Structure 1
Amino acid sequence: MKKLARLPTRSEFAHVTDWVFDLDNTLYPHHVNLFAQIDRNMTAYVAKLLSLDPADAKKLQKDYYRDHGTTLKGLMVHHGIDPNEFLEQAHAIDYSIVPADPALGEAIKSLPGRKFIFTNGSVAHAQMTARALGILDHFDDIFDIVAADFVPKPAGETYDKFMSLHRVDTRNAVMFEDLPRNLLVPKALGMKTVLLVPQNLEYTFAESWEKSNDTDEQIDYVTEDLAGFLRSLLTDL
């Protein structure tokens, strides 16, 4: 597993003009575990759709997630579901458990250049989450699964759509993510890459393939503290 990296210096990011952030388990810490609610909703949806017991529904849900990038994409491919209905039901959750993070908000606000949320979730989910964190107003745009035509990360065509839409020069951009496989394309495109990991590297609710390892060459930096990482880039501005 990748170890926590030293904090970077501003000079290492002086060229960055576009800051791209995943949403879940990236803009808020893993231990908040907001996604657990979404996970339960998706399992319930699969169980009802296919008349499966909860255990079988959860297994199929996770198989689709692993094989297709999202459970949604797997359900669209194999069962032709309405993606908008799925997203609405999956994101019917309690956002009050997300704590406001003024330090993160101040750090993102102070970054030079444009800031984006790039998520496999929906705009509505991203807005609710970012609003709870107190950081929504600091972003230039949210690129969601609908904008990606329901083709999720890590598909290369989805990154291409995002970069083309916002005219991002990948040589001057950085991607923050919690899933190592979602950093493969950004790294290949010339972006700097930062992996967000749980505090003390305690993966208590992740699939084995979601965790990093020492062979993940697509990862430039690893941190468990996004606000602290960003602050380190602002100290000599």
Structure 2
Amino acid sequence: MNPPRAFSHIDTWVFDLDNTLYPHHVNLWQQVDARIGEFISAYLKISAEEARIIQKDYYRRYGTSMRGMMTEHGVHADDYLAYVHQIDHSPLEPNPAMGAAIAKLPGRKLILTNGSTDHAGAVLARLGIGEHFEAVFDIIAAELEPKPAPQTYDRFLRVHGVEPLRSAMFEDLARNLVVPHQLGMTTVLVVPDGAKEVVREDWELEGRDAAYVDHVTDDLTGFLERLSG
């Protein structure tokens, strides 16, 4: 087994947004999750229970529920994104320690998210760390193809001129690290703090022992502080 990849050569730092740059236990994503269910229920004129089953099935099969709704039912992305991201961001607290740790990392910092730039902007503003990021590559920039689709990473790397062999990727879903690792990126899986209750499905928490996961942390701020220290 190969040793985990290191960080000494890294000059580009790529971060997922939701459940990565803020802790899982804030459960902000739960609000989005609930809105997705409401959207599917209303759009397909089905019960909340039926909508939930479809929502989770599409999430697993297509990378996002939105992609499934677009593919299977012709949903317009703009309508979907506008609805599901209408949430209360106030549970997020400013995180100056994380901001300082990110600022100390050598080189560029980018965000690669399956969400929208509006949602990312709101999250970064609440955390108080937006100034540290050069750009946000969102689901629209990805031409509505979510991670873990290989073409999404290819497009991201091309648009932002990123050299994967000198890049690190931080993610809360292990499956979204498979392609980055294949491309040569150093991968970090951000997992929930075991002391806090989180609302996740079992498969979302898998993969911490996978060969494509170089590092695992339940404290991103502390992890980044050790890197930049």
TM-score, normalised via structure 1 length? 0.92
Alpha-carbon distance in structure 2 between the residues aligned to 1:45 and 1:93: 13
User: Is the aligned partner of 1:48 residue 2:42?
Assistant: yes
Alpha-carbon distance in structure 1 between the residues aligned to 2:46 and 2:188: 38
Structure 2 residue runs of 5 or longer lacking an equivalent are: none
For residue 118 of structure 2, what is the aligned residue in structure 1? 124
For residue 111 of structure 1, what is the aligned residue in structure 2? 105
User: Is the aligned partner of 1:63 residue 2:47?
Assistant: no
Which segment drifts farther, 208-217 or 137-146? Answer: 208-217
For residue 131 of structure 2, what is the aligned residue in structure 1? 137
Instruction: Note if contact 2:24-2:198 (Cα within 8 Å) is conserved in structure 1.
Output: no
For residue 192 of structure 1, what is the aligned residue in structure 2? 186
For residue 154 of structure 2, what is the aligned residue in structure 1? 160
Alpha-carbon distance in structure 2 between the residues aligned to 1:199 and 1:193: 19
For residue 81 of structure 1, what is the aligned residue in structure 2? 75
Alpha-carbon distance in structure 1 between the residues aligned to 2:6 and 2:55: 40
Aligned residue for 1:117, secondary structure, equals strand
Deviation at 1:203, TM superposition (A): 6.8
Change (3 A) 1:97 1:112: same
What letter is aligned with 1:123? T
Instruction: Return the match for 1:212 from 199, 203, 206.
Output: 206
Aligned residue for 1:39, secondary structure, equals helix
For residue 151 of structure 1, what is the aligned residue in structure 2? 145
Deviation at 1:212, TM superposition (A): 2.2
Deviation at 1:52, TM superposition (A): 0.9
User: Is the aligned partner of 1:30 residue 2:30?
Assistant: no
What letter is aligned with 1:66? R
- RMSD after superposition: 1.5
Deviation at 1:33, TM superposition (A): 0.7
Change (3 A) 1:81 1:59: same
Alpha-carbon distance in structure 2 between the residues aligned to 1:201 and 1:151: 34
Aligned residue for 1:92, secondary structure, equals coil
Identical aligned pairs, as a percentage?
Answer: 47
Alpha-carbon distance in structure 1 between the residues aligned to 2:206 and 2:57: 19
Change (3 A) 1:214 1:228: closer
TM-score, normalised via structure 2 length? 0.95
For residue 171 of structure 2, what is the aligned residue in structure 1? 177
Alpha-carbon distance in structure 2 between the residues aligned to 1:66 and 1:138: 32
Aligned residue for 1:115, secondary structure, equals strand
Instruction: Note if contact 2:208-2:216 (Cα within 8 Å) is conserved in structure 1.
Output: no
Per-residue CA deviations over 1:48-69 (Å, capped at 9, x if unaligned) read 0011111111111111101000
What letter is aligned with 1:182? N
For residue 3 of structure 1, what is the aligned residue in structure 2? none
For residue 5 of structure 1, what is the aligned residue in structure 2? none
Alpha-carbon distance in structure 2 between the residues aligned to 1:147 and 1:101: 27
Per-residue CA deviations over 1:165-202 (Å, capped at 9, x if unaligned) read 11111110000000000000000000000000000276
What letter is aligned with 1:226? L
Per-residue CA deviations over 1:41-90 (Å, capped at 9, x if unaligned) read 01000000011111111111111101000010000000101101100100
Instruction: Note if contact 2:6-2:186 (Cα within 8 Å) is conserved in structure 1.
Output: no
